[in-house]
Structure 1
Amino acid sequence: MPTDKPVTLAVVIGAHGVTGEVRLKIFAEDLDAYKAFNSGRLTLKSLREGPNGAIARFAEVKDRNAAEAMRGTELTVPRTALPPLGEGEYYHVDLLDLAAVSENGETLGRVIAVDNYGAGDVLEVERPDGKRFMVPMQPDAVPEFDDNRIIIAQAFAQG
């Protein structure tokens, strides 16, 4: 069952023009589907493609100074606002902090990051001793996962 922790969908990377528009780096497929961010503190009025990312206008940002002050602001929505997933799909936020165990039940650690270097998602697992290892999020390496844990295949559990 997903929690309602905030999920970052974009980040403000700078101001655009003098009327309060901001440039965004977007992490979501359809940011325009959301109108309110950061617990309702920001209301999206418009979104369009820009030269270096997307250009957005928020009702609460009236001028360039306000837009510049937003640099680095993450745009978040509650996890429950995200669309439902299909079989075998997951959101990165749902994998973070899950217990990682081997196929024989040995505790391996916790998932601390989910990265993608172009060939698919990679889980970073931190062992109880602080050492870390990485596992590709593919069925041969992670044969099973649910809301409570990720099972890592023996061949990958040695990390």
Structure 2
Amino acid sequence: MSALVCVARIGAAHGVRGAVKLWTFTEDPFAIKRYGPLLSKDGKRQFEVATAREARDHLVATFKGVTTRDEAERLNGIELYVAREKLPATDEDEYYHTDLIGLAAVTTDGDALGRVLAIHNFGAGDIIEIAPLKGTTMLLPFSNAVVPEVDLTGGRVVIALPQEVEGEDGGEDLSPSRPRERGDP
């Protein structure tokens, strides 16, 4: 079976006729109607969108066979998936998160760092999470400066580790520490 990609999450019931709030993770929220039946994560349940209309920050949707509020309430929290091959091709420098997860992460010098664990977006842009070979998990901006190369065919991402983290004092040096001398700040 092809890799499944999460395209939406069902929220709370909306009204009394089986409608639900539906949060989509697609560029065009209404694209979920074009993918055919959507699947639960385990692939055992199918959902077909009957109607969808835009709301404030989500869609209000109905699914075929769901006609009451009770039935709609039981769907709350279900993530909806589609087979990867049903999704449109990406543009250059665009990637589906599922294509990146599991790739090897290497430094610009080719040294192994670990594997891509996840891609997050907490509202300020994408963050790449690297599970390192040793040490703690790294969360880095998924930008061209930090991730200058994504090689899907080669199964790797190249990471340019930042040397500084900017802060109020102009930046904290993340390079290896040196012994402090008298008079150092």
* Shorter-chain TM band: 0.7 to 0.9
Counterpart amino acid of residue 28 in structure 2? D
Structure 2: segments with no counterpart, 5+ residues: 164-173, 176-185
Q: Secondary structure at the match of 2:48?
A: strand
How many residues matched? Answer: 156
Return the match for 1:109 from 110, 114, 130: 114
Distance 1:155 1:14, change over 3 A: closer
Equivalence for 1:36: 37
How far the C-alpha of 1:153 sits from its partner, in A, is: 1.7
CA RMSD of aligned residues (A): 2.2
- The percent of aligned pairs where both chains have the same amino acid is 38
Q: Counterparts of 1:56 and 1:27 in 2: how far apart (Å)? A: 15
Distance 1:155 1:52, change over 3 A: closer
Residues 87-102 of structure 1: pairs in structure 2 closer than 5 A: 87-102=92-107
Higher mean Cα deviation, 146-155 or 14-23?
Answer: 146-155
Task: Identify the structure with the greater strand proportion.
Answer: 1
Counterpart amino acid of residue 69 in structure 1? R
Deviations 1:116-137 (CA, angstroms, capped at 9, x unpaired) = 2444211011112351112222
Q: Counterparts of 1:102 and 1:110 in 2: how far apart (Å)? A: 12
Counterpart amino acid of residue 151 in structure 2? D
Deviations 1:32-82 (CA, angstroms, capped at 9, x unpaired) = 223320057111111102356210011121211110100111111111111
Q: Counterparts of 2:107 and 2:57 in 1: how far apart (Å)? A: 43
User: Which segments of structure 1 move beyond 3 Å, counting only runs of 4 or more?
Assistant: none
TM-score normalised per structure 1? 0.87
Return the match for 1:76 from 81, 90, 104: 81
